[in-house]
Amino acid sequence: MGNSKIYSKIIYTTSPENELNQWIDKYEKGKVFIATEENVDQLWMPQFNSFLDKHFIRKVVVTSGEKNKKLNSVTEIWEFLSKNGADRKSLLINLGGGMLTDLAGFAASTFKRGIDFLNIPTTLLSQVDASVGGKTGINFNGLKNEIGTFKEPVAVIINSRFLQTIDPENFLSGFAEMIKHGLIKSPAHLEELENFNLKKIDYQNLQEIIRHSVEVKEYFVGHDPTEKNIRKALNFGHTVGHAFESFGMGQKNQALHGYNVAWGMIVELYLSVKECGLDEMECTKITNWLLSIYGKMNIEKDDFERLYELMTHDKKNEAGRINFTLLPEIGRIEINQHCNKELIFDALEYFRTIQ
């Protein structure tokens, strides 16, 4: 798979503790630390406590929630590492959702110019998306992931049993990223997702489906680690999705990341029809499926200008033009597509009025 050595080892396991044992042995006693978030600490840490004691692993717990994905939380982790004698040969284990792995990964990648970290993602979103690809980051000045680094974890340990404690909304948030992976690269993966029973989840079967999803992401990251070229495929649904997300940030009822991405995909499927010749019936079929799972965000015509302005802030833009990844057909992508403002407004109007 091209230069696949650049990304971390991804381990699918039913026993995270056994896998961790092997990693911890590579580090000096007392130089391994764990970062987690409040709700994960309450749900999962009781099972890990004796393991942590046995290996002299100290932990830091940050407050859960996207609004805490900020510099203060990073400082908390830096202070904890500093106070507990972490050095450049230390390991930080990050146990939590995408917010935590992004944030603690950023803290590790900058502490003493970078220490090793290992991710154990506990939500579907972080298993299929946030843990792969070596992006770390925090939100800043109201903009999502505005500050961050490219730094690979030494390993990612994936176990679908963690998903048994997440609520349906968070499950669906991750499921949206899996749908995106199917759309941009793998019609076969898209089909297994269309057939997946969301009402009665088979967690054993899910672990294998997660692997298929992660393989799509690995393919793009392996060929383009720093997003100069085809890795931009992974941005499908995100140019508009991030605008929806930033737009909702100030509102009390802000939707989860995957919902915003699902809505972003609906808008960008419309753009794909107009700009790249995606089959209109295919677009309608997928749009209806997405709406049946995610509903939709209510936007007004008056919001278009603000949403457009938020799209102009997207990190993938070049030369002042909004940069989209679009689909000429399912499983194929066209990167660096520029749509004019009028077409973007048409697409937003399509989304606003769709039933």
pLDDT score, position 131: 72
> What pLDDT, on the 0 to 100 scale, is given for residue 315?
67
How confident is the model over 258-272, as a mean pLDDT?
98
What is the signed CA dihedral for 22, 88, 221, 260, rounded to 10 degrees?
A: 100
Number of CB atoms found within 10 A of residue 224's CB: 18
- In the block, which residue shows the tokens 């298993």? 127
DSSP 260: H
- What distance in Å separates the CA atoms of residue 120 and residue 36, rounded to the nearest whole number? 10
The mean pLDDT of 12-33, rounded to a whole number, is: 93
Q: Inform me whether the pLDDT recorded for 185 exceeds 60.
A: yes
Q: How many CB atoms lie within 10 A of CB 123?
A: 28
Cα 224 to its chain centre, rounded Å, is 17
- The predicted model gives 275-303 an average pLDDT of 97
How much of the chain exceeds pLDDT 90, in percent? 79
Q: Which residue has the higher pLDDT, 131 or 196?
A: 196
Give yes or no for residue 87 having a pLDDT over 90: yes
The distance from CA 136 to its chain's CA centroid, rounded to whole angstroms, is: 10
Give the contacts of 270 (CB within 8 A, at least 6 positions apart).
283, 287, 346, 347, 350, 351
Residue 89 CA: distances (Å) to CA of 55, 76, 108, 115, 148: 16, 20, 11, 7, 22
Q: Which amino acid is at 327?
A: L
For residue 6, pLDDT over 70 is answered with no
Mean pLDDT of the chain, nearest integer:
92
For the stretch 303-336, pLDDT in tens is 999 999 999 987 667 666 888 999 999 999 999 9
pTM above 0.85, yes or no: yes
Radius of gyration of the chain from its Cα atoms, rounded to whole angstroms:
20
DSSP 68-92: G-SHHHHHHHHHHHHHTT--TT-EE
- Annotated domain spans of the chain: 4-165, 168-200+228-353
Give rounded-to-5 percent helix, strand, coil for the chain. Answer: 55, 15, 25
Residue 5's pLDDT is 43
Position with higher pLDDT, 227 vs 64: 64
Helix (H) or strand (E) holding 268: helix 257-276
Weakest-pLDDT range from 8-22, 52-66, 181-195? 8-22
CB atoms closer than 10 angstroms to residue 153: 28
Q: CA 316 to CA 135: how far, in whole Å?
A: 14
Task: Average the pLDDT over each of 62-71, 114-123, 130-139 and give the range with the smallest value.
Answer: 130-139
- Give the C-alpha separation, 70 to 87, whole Å: 23
Could you tell me which CATH number the domain at 4-165 has?
3.40.50.1970
CB burial string 45-73: b at 16+ within 10 A, e below = beebeebbeebebebbbbebebebbeeeb
pLDDT, residue 4, reads 39
Examine the pLDDT at 212 and tell me if it is beyond 80.
Answer: yes
pLDDT at residue 7, rounded to an integer? 52
Residues facing 324 on adjacent strands? 337
- Give 137-168 as a DSSP string: EEEETTEEEEEEEE---SEEEE-GGGGGGS-H
Compute CA distances 296 → 146, 342, 355, whole Å.
26, 22, 9
Lowest mean pLDDT among 143-152, 174-183, 251-260: 251-260
Query: 4-165 and 168-200+228-353 share one CATH topology?
Result: no
- Interatomic CA distance for residues 238 and 181, integer angstroms: 12
Token duo for residue 200:
């009665």
Q: How far apart are the first and last CA of the chain?
A: 42
Q: Which residues contact 188 (CB under 8 A, 6 or more apart)?
A: 182, 212
Q: What's residue 143's pLDDT?
A: 82
Position 227 scores a pLDDT of: 77
Superfamily classification of domain 168-200+228-353? Dehydroquinate synthase-like - alpha domain (1.20.1090.10)
